[in-house]
Structure 1
């Protein structure tokens, strides 16, 4: 019996970044589900999602707003914020997240952070069972 691949949802309005992250995550053994907006993700729902990566600066709900919405219904879900706009990379607003990355970010560092967050989440899930 094969183990279920962890699902990472990615929300970014840049289609090139979505494609790049999808390729990176898939090559690392994760199932990547890409969304061009917070609304698109929320319409699909968070069922089965193990980790969320969201851009901060997006039209509609930004990454901080999405993080806050997700934390209300899925406080156990690790959330990584990414941004290319350093002026909005406010560390105080980034509190309460699992990871914070400025574009361009190092792929190895991102993958290591994802692995750690999913490992921590799995330990918590096992403890809660």
Structure 2
């Protein structure tokens, strides 16, 4: 992002190890991170207006990543989203592509590639404003 603005990234995953890993990775790249163990907790926190990018696991109980993406877009149509998943099915990636995203990563994912996707998403989002 521009100037002294520190990008705020929300990460949603029901696996606490992934949350901790992503928080460490993103903070090491200079981002501010808010982590949530469920889509419900993100939505209840009302953080959507404040974040610059959303990283969401697809395979979560109750509200999955696709549903979270739909709900987030109702509030923030311009919010960049990056999907992560442990599911190897090609259909999952096709569905993610159909919904529109700035990245799709299968676990375990490559940290530098994920950071590059976040940087690209933030840049595209800032140019679109």
**TM-score, reference length from structure 1:** 0.91
Matches of residues 1-129 of structure 1 in structure 2 within 5 Å? 3-45=4-46, 46-87=48-89, 90-95=92-97, 96-125=100-129
Whether the 8 Å CA contact 2:49–2:76 is kept in 1: the answer is no
Whether the 8 Å CA contact 1:8–1:51 is kept in 2: the answer is yes
Task: Give 4+ residue runs of structure 1 displaced > 2 Å after superposition.
Answer: none
Equivalent pairs counted in the alignment come to 124
Whether the 8 Å CA contact 1:83–1:89 is kept in 2: the answer is no
RMSD between aligned residues: 1.3
Gaps of at least 5 residues in structure 2 are none
Alpha-carbon distance, 1:70 to partner: 1.0
**TM-score, reference length from structure 2:** 0.91
Alpha-carbon distance, 1:110 to partner: 0.4
Which structure has the highest helix share of the two? Answer: 2
State the SS of the aligned residue for 2:19.
Answer: helix
Alpha-carbon distance, 1:91 to partner: 2.4
Alpha carbons of structure 1 residues 89 and 26: separation in structure 2 relative to 1, 3 Å? farther
Alpha carbons of structure 1 residues 80 and 30: separation in structure 2 relative to 1, 3 Å? same
Gaps of at least 5 residues in structure 1 are none
Alpha carbons of structure 1 residues 33 and 90: separation in structure 2 relative to 1, 3 Å? same
State the SS of the aligned residue for 2:50.
Answer: coil
Alpha-carbon distance, 1:73 to partner: 1.8
